[in-house]
Amino acid sequence: MQIRRYEANSVQEAMARIKKELGPDAVVLSSKRLKGAGSSRVEVVAARDIQEEQVCVDIDGCRQSDVNVKTEPFQRFQQEIQELKTLVRQIQNEKPLVREFAELRQDMGALFDVLGMRHKDAGFLSQIYCKLIANGVSRSRACRLIEASKHHLPTEGALDYETTIRRFSAMIAGRFAASRSRAGSARIKVFAGPTGAGKTTTLAKLAAHYALEKKSRVGVITTDTYRIAATEQLRVYTDIIGVPLAVAPEKELFSRSVRQFSDKDVILVDTPGRSRKDQDALTKLKDTLGSEAEMETSLLLSLSSSREHLLDAAVRYEVLDYRNIVFTKTDECTRFGFIYDVLDQAEKPVLYVTTGQNVPQDIEASTPDKLAEWILS
């Protein structure tokens, strides 16, 4: 038996050398990841039986002894099993890394919990921290809010719970209010957002609001010819409301439509819903919209989506330079804490929230107080 030790960057690399040097009959005796210096090196110990084995075999039903045969097929089989075992071990070796990240995240969470709850109960801050977490605010942001609240609240124990939570709510609302100036005042209002966020429905609600309640002159443009029947869906709404619709999937057509609606007080623009990961589609949309003066883009985010989805969309749509946010499908949402995370990251005001599928009634202007109340509710 010939035994050799191999050091390599990966098990595959070691196996290739073993096969080359010891031949296909070599078997792996052990393998392990080496500690220290980068820890990416592996050690594999392999062996090869250099004796041809003397075995007894049956030939044509008669027992023959001392027949000198190679046990190659068996050894190959054994070797393949060893290789498989090595691979399984390797995969298992990678698991601790994933586990380590999960544990690290848990530890961070625990650390934030300790920080967020280290206040004496008399200050109610630990109760508020738990409330924020329960509502879906991330631990790190909840912790930062608690720290910031110390500048807004008197020393612990000086206020009752109701007053403390009211002050805390006012502090959150104050943060949202900071970004609100002139939001929503532009004449051309573009509605963008991930697929199915509620762009067309929200646009229809606002078209009715401007045309029927405010008696404004309204024009609607859609750049959405991507989805089959997208234009038809919007045409049904514009026909009922009695406002003109222009279809403009390209830059030239878009600026021509804007000129065509030069007599309108408000121009509402619908855009195609594409995966938030389709960056090319967003770049194309940006090109189509051009840089019209008096234009303001709203990012529509459905609260039936996950926090990760919304945070990701808020970043990816930056390419459109959106100026405000509309939260849709609030009626489908039970915990509102994660809107704090989204707004803290995006630093954009919320113009409207939509509360159902009914056109035109299920839409409300959003206020910082209302949002703060939701986050703490």
- CB nearer ligand GTP, residue 173 or residue 204: 204
Looking at residue 258, its amino acid is V
C-alpha distances (whole Å) from 256 to each of 209, 230, 265 are: 25, 21, 17
Q: How far is the CB of 202 from ligand GTP (least distance, A)?
A: 6
CA 144 to centroid of chain Cα atoms: 22
- Separation of alpha carbons 129 and 293, rounded Å: 44
* Closest chain position to Mg ion (CB): 200
Element (H, E) at 324: strand 324-328
Region for residue 36 given its phi and psi (left: phi exceeds 0; alpha: psi -120 to 50; beta: otherwise): left
List residues bridging with 31 in a β-sheet.
44
What tokens does 63 get?
């027992």
* Closest chain position to ligand GTP (CB): 273
Binding map of Mg ion across residues 160-189, x = CB under 5 A, - = no contact: ------------------------------
Does 223 contact Mg ion by CB under 5 A? no
Cis peptide before 360 (omega within 30 of 0): yes
Determine how many CB atoms are found less than 10 A away from the CB of residue 307: 17
Footprint on this chain of ligand GTP (rule: CB under 6 A): 193, 195-201, 224, 227, 230, 273, 328-329, 331-332, 354-357, 362
Q: How far is the CB of 221 from Mg ion (least distance, A)?
A: 13
- Separation of alpha carbons 111 and 104, rounded Å: 10
Q: Which of 86, 135, 138, 200 binds Mg ion (CB under 5 A)?
A: 200
- CB nearer Mg ion, residue 48 or residue 199: 199
- CB nearer ligand GTP, residue 168 or residue 338: 338
Q: How far is the CB of 198 from Mg ion (least distance, A)?
A: 8
List residues bridging with 363 in a β-sheet.
354
Q: Which of 141, 172, 137, 184 is nearest to 350 (CA)?
A: 184
Segment lying near Mg ion (by CB under 5 A), choices 35-43, 158-166, 197-205, 327-335? 197-205
Q: How far is the CB of 365 from ligand GTP (least distance, A)?
A: 14
List residues bridging with 370 in a β-sheet.
none
Q: How far is the CB of 197 from ligand GTP (least distance, A)?
A: 4
Q: Which of 91, 231, 176 is nearest to 346 (CA)?
A: 176
Could you tell which of ligand GTP, Mg ion, none binds residue 86, using a CB distance below 5 to 8 A set by kind? none
**Helices 72-116 & 125-135 angle (0-180, nearest 10):** 140
- CB nearer Mg ion, residue 224 or residue 296: 224
Q: Which of 289, 207, 213 is nearest to 251 (CA)?
A: 289
Q: How far is the CB of 248 from ligand GTP (least distance, A)?
A: 15
Q: How far is the CB of 226 from ligand GTP (least distance, A)?
A: 8
Could you tell which of Mg ion, ligand GTP, none binds residue 332, using a CB distance below 5 to 8 A set by kind? ligand GTP
- CB nearer ligand GTP, residue 164 or residue 222: 222
Q: Give the pairing type, strands 62-68 and 42-48.
A: unpaired
Q: How far is the CB of 201 from Mg ion (least distance, A)?
A: 8
- CB nearer ligand GTP, residue 198 or residue 349: 198
- CB nearer ligand GTP, residue 26 or residue 206: 206
- CB nearer ligand GTP, residue 273 or residue 368: 273
Q: Which residues bind Mg ion (CB under 5 A)?
A: 199-200
